[in-house]
Chains A and B, each alone.
Chain A
Amino acid sequence: MRIRKLHALALIAAVFALALAGCGDDDDGDGGVAGDVSGSVDIAGVWTGEEAQSFQAVLDGFRAKYPNVTVSYDAAGDELPTVLATAVQGGNPPDLAAVPQPGLVSDFYDQGALIPLDFAEQEIRDNFTPGAVDIATFDGQVYGFLFKAANKSTVWYNVGLYDAAGVRPAETFDEFLRNARTLKASGTSAYSIGVDAGWPLTDLFENIYLRQAGPEMYDRLAEHRIPWTDQSVRDALETMTEIIADSGNIVGGTSGALQTDFPTSVTNAFKENPDGANVIEGDFVAGEIDASTEAKPLTDYDVFDFPSVDGSEPVVVGGGDTIVMFKDTPASQALVEYLGTPEAAEIWAERGGFSSANRNLDTSVYPDELTRRTASAIADVDTFRFDLSDLQPAAFGATVGQGMWQVLTDFMENPDDVNGTAAQLEQEANRAF
């Protein structure tokens, strides 16, 4: 370990330890019946603002069930990775945490900081879609589960433009491309893409790759056990060109898309005189539409699942926050168990802005039709995979001007060079791993 960083860590850890001193020694309750559990539990997460309030509501539900447990939530925001890593280094982590980065979860597992959730394993496996548990399963033992999930396998479309062109949401990729040509003939661009930083292209690639190459290959590629020069990668890039090389059918053409940021691409498709019909991105598009356009759900905009490629089964690429446990106390066990129940998910789902991978959640609690659809797709699907670029080291998977983001942006500029792009990806991956 590097010396200087340790100094910094120690300093921050000391501050953190002081802050946590109040919730230090946990009582040794004897578990079992809800009312018997006592003590305190604290959980750290990224949720701030409205999300933090919703999570507080979930915790209120927990308190009602376990009146003798005091529970506190630390909203660490985007600094969560730093805060957690520091606290774990300093030997004083929170009891639980909700971590958005699977890479961080496996780092903590490697450091031996995580506690297996044996006590709740059966319940978790019964409730959650397998992919939501697999991401935190190491050596066959469950160490976490995806409490709040996000669906990135969605296509948002402009209902008016679809009606004018006389097309219906596509189920297969071929149909999707056919629709795109019809949309073009009707006088609109089919795709509104905001490449700017590059991450929308990684999501498109992942959706195609997972469907075309299958989940096993996806897992291998995610761990870099196959090179990026593999035929499957090149095939997926080839398929991608059907969309990204169709310059005449992209709002602003290729060069326009490269300079458009994501929010603008959403506005372009759903503003009053829309320029494009489809935005191929995750469930967060809905929030963006509501925030920056007048479009109304169902009548003006709607959503369908990313279409099947080469007859692939339904799969979902997504993201989300994983609950993990650092300290084994009856109170934290109780909270883990509670967060795994459908009733915990229900509290937040009703309030909106939440998708659950819990299969036993009654989907009628979602506040609107579109959330119900995108959220139940996560719970219902047999194959759920975490966003591949988020599973990579940040330098390769999540940095402006670097790694996947940049190489795929260059690829859009020069879509003929599939082999060169694959080689470039491999080179960047090697540098980061």
Chain B
Amino acid sequence: MAAPDRTPDGKPGLWRRHRVALAFLAPAAVLLGIWIVYPAISTVGRSFFDRDGSEFVGLDNYEQIFTTDILITAIKNNAIWLAVVPALVTAVGLVFGVMIERIRWSVAFRTAVFMPMAISLFAAGVIWRVMDQRDPDVGAVNAGLAAISDAIDPPGTLSGAAASTEQLEGTPQRGLSFAEPLRSGDVAPLGLTAIPPDEVPEDAVQARAPPALDDGIVGVVWVDFLPGGGKSGVVERGELGLPGVSVQLRDPSGGTLERVETDADGAFAFVGVGAGEHAVAIGPETFAEPFSGVEWLGPSLITPAVMIAYIWVWAGFAMVVIGAGLAALPRDVLEAARTDGASERQVFRRVTVPLLRPVLIVVFVTMLINVLKVFDIILSVAPASSQDDANVIALAMWRTAFGGVNDFGLGSAIAVLLFLLVIPLLAFNIRSFRREV
């Protein structure tokens, strides 16, 4: 109340001169102080203390960042993200930006590419998590691959089946063959198990071991399983034959002499095989597994999988910014270049791109900063089992401080590291913005 309005020398006081400005600044300053400045300072301080904040540990937390495997992986992944994603987003945005200037359906195209920007990164992550599922019945990406793969390399009729006894040797992947050498007059029971009931052909009937032939080798391919297991290697009542299985007659050196298909009761016969030892086998193509899907969300592909989702989201942003830059390009320069005989390619490389440089740099640097902070999309795309492999600095910070570990000391140290990495980029971006304005 009684504050002097004027200092002794007669000039208005500091308070008086700035009170309007201060009054306007105060709310923002208070909020920034509470929510930004204080937590930032407190985080830096906290990073020098141990997990429950009771003991000063100096730089131990920082040392731990660079000696813990999970955190080193996070830093490495972040480096990969920085090297790959901003450049790709800018390049894709440039291509799209140039494209929408030339194609007819540019509005529809622009809308489609920009659409992902309208949903949150987390939701985009959830979408990609489902699309990237390994099971082709669930994941759209693998469903597409499965359609192609199964057309090129069709699955066998009995994928997943296994031999019921030791009488069959080999593996389903390499084909199963009867272990004993066979001669004319022998019978070869080729029992198989692990066949789901719905994979048995509908025309199958009770299996039957055919009677031996004088001048041939006979046998039966059947589902050697009864509820409870049944007796292995013996055709029992209730066990179905497997019709339509291609059985090969081989000479002792492994060359295929003849192929027959089994009957409805699973029986097959090679007539007139002559003297000498032979082998009977079911080839690997019968057991070929259907395409089982690429493990996009597994440890080795998870980072590329998340990157694709991320680029899908941000390509729209890059396209719009670069498109705006393109629209603002001086047409006369382009026309002049064309008149001087430059090809479209030369115009693009020598005129368009250099003129667009400032815009491209803004997009690139904005993406650099975004990529350094990348967090939620990884959390939503990567299943828990591969989050360690998809880890980045921001995610590592969250998981260390809040994700149950509750090591706020180490978590703060990671946050400070991230902050230090972002500062130069931020400074650069602010400076280049200023120059433009």
Q: Are A394 and B406 in contact (CB under 8 A)?
A: yes
Cβ distance A407 to chain B, nearest Cβ, rounded Å: 11
Q: A4-B42, A186-B227, A255-B298 are in contact. Are A198 and B53 (CB under 8 A)?
A: no
How many A-B residue pairs have C-beta atoms within 8 angstroms? Tell me.
99
Judge whether A402 is part of the interface by a CB distance below 8 angstroms: yes
Query: Which A168-182 residues sit within 8 Å CB-CB of chain B?
Result: 182
Q: Are A2 and B383 in contact (CB under 8 A)?
A: no
Judge whether B384 is part of the interface by a CB distance below 8 angstroms: yes
A2 to B52, CA, bound (A): 7
Q: Are B228 and A400 in contact (CB under 8 A)?
A: no
Neighbouring A residues of B384 by C-beta, 8 Å: 196-198, 400-401, 405
Cβ distance A195 to chain B, nearest Cβ, rounded Å: 6
Neighbouring B residues of A256 by C-beta, 8 Å: 134-135
Neighbouring A residues of B54 by C-beta, 8 Å: 1-2
Question: Which interface class (under 10, 10 to 19, 20 to 34, 35 or more) fits B?
Answer: 35 or more
Neighbouring B residues of A167 by C-beta, 8 Å: 228
Contact of B385 among A166, A184, A195, A399 (CB under 8 A): A195
Judge whether B388 is part of the interface by a CB distance below 8 angstroms: yes
Neighbouring A residues of B385 by C-beta, 8 Å: 195-198, 258-259, 409
The interface residues of chain B, by DSSP majority, are classed as loop
A165 to B193, CA, bound (A): 11
Q: Are A399 and B403 in contact (CB under 8 A)?
A: yes
Judge whether B276 is part of the interface by a CB distance below 8 angstroms: no
Q: Are B225 and A399 in contact (CB under 8 A)?
A: no
Judge whether A164 is part of the interface by a CB distance below 8 angstroms: yes
Neighbouring B residues of A1 by C-beta, 8 Å: 54
Q: Are A185 and B403 in contact (CB under 8 A)?
A: no
Judge whether B215 is part of the interface by a CB distance below 8 angstroms: no
Judge whether B213 is part of the interface by a CB distance below 8 angstroms: no
A137 to B408, CA, bound (A): 32
Q: Are B298 and A259 in contact (CB under 8 A)?
A: yes
Q: A185-B193, A186-B227 are in contact. Are A252 and B134 (CB under 8 A)?
A: yes
A406 to B42, CA, bound (A): 31
Instruction: Across the interface, name the chain A residue whose C-beta is closest to B55.
Output: A2
Q: Are B195 and A166 in contact (CB under 8 A)?
A: no
Judge whether A261 is part of the interface by a CB distance below 8 angstroms: yes
Neighbouring B residues of A398 by C-beta, 8 Å: 404
A273 to B199, CA, bound (A): 13
A187 to B239, CA, bound (A): 14
Q: A164-B197, A187-B196, A398-B404 are in contact. Are A259 and B228 (CB under 8 A)?
A: no
Judge whether A5 is part of the interface by a CB distance below 8 angstroms: yes
Q: Are A166 and B193 in contact (CB under 8 A)?
A: no
Judge whether B405 is part of the interface by a CB distance below 8 angstroms: yes
Instruction: Across the interface, name the chain B residue whose C-beta is closest to A168.
Output: B228
A165 to B70, CA, bound (A): 44
Neighbouring B residues of A399 by C-beta, 8 Å: 403-405
A401 to B385, CA, bound (A): 7
Cβ distance A274 to chain B, nearest Cβ, rounded Å: 10
Judge whether B164 is part of the interface by a CB distance below 8 angstroms: yes
A357 to B78, CA, bound (A): 50
Interface residues of A (CB under 8 A from B): 1-5, 163-167, 182, 184-188, 195-198, 252, 255-256, 258-259, 261, 273, 394-395, 398-402, 405-406, 409
* 5 extra interface residue pairs, beta carbon distance < 8 Å, beyond A1-B54, A163-B227, A255-B295: A184-B193, A185-B194, A186-B227, A187-B196, A395-B405
8 smallest CB-CB distances across A and B, nearest first, come from: A166-B227, A399-B404, A166-B228, A187-B196, A2-B53, A185-B193, A197-B384, A400-B384
Q: Pull 29 A–B residue pairs with CB atoms less than 8 Å apart, ordered by A.
A: A2-B53, A4-B53, A164-B197, A166-B228, A167-B228, A182-B228, A182-B229, A184-B193, A185-B164, A188-B196, A196-B384, A197-B384, A197-B385, A255-B134, A256-B134, A256-B135, A258-B386, A259-B385, A273-B198, A394-B404, A395-B404, A400-B387, A400-B403, A400-B404, A401-B384, A401-B387, A402-B399, A402-B403, A406-B388
